[in-house]
Structure 1
Amino acid sequence: MTAFQDSFQTEVARLVRKQVKDDQAALKQSDRKQREEASALKQEVKSLSTQVRSLTKQLAKL
């Protein structure tokens, strides 16, 4: 019975490592996408702030 128990534990450990690896890959991909979105949003905010500042200056001249 010990041989069965050892092989069973080894198999369970292998499956758990595989599942954890897959889960980590999915989390890394999700994290990467969120970082890209955050970066794009920061750039857009910066661009819009520049436009607002420019338009404010133009309006002040009028």
Structure 2
Amino acid sequence: MYFVLALCLFARESYEEVLRVLTNGILGSRALARVNRSSLCRARARLGEDLLETVFR
């Protein structure tokens, strides 16, 4: 969920850059930085519209 919100905040950045910004300073974040872009797209789709609508309300 944080990733999807960060995509809105950093709309001009790539998925990889947004993930890097989110994980900067977290121990073990190098493993997170190597996440495949397609995995991020699928995870975003799994969240669905209902969850995002609830968060924004």
* Shared fold (TM-score, shorter chain, > 0.5): no
Q: Which has the higher contact order (CA 8 A, sep 6+)?
A: 2
> What TM-score, normalized to structure 1?
0.22
> What TM-score, normalized to structure 2?
0.24
Q: Which structure: greater helix fraction?
A: 1
The structure number with the bigger radius of gyration is 1
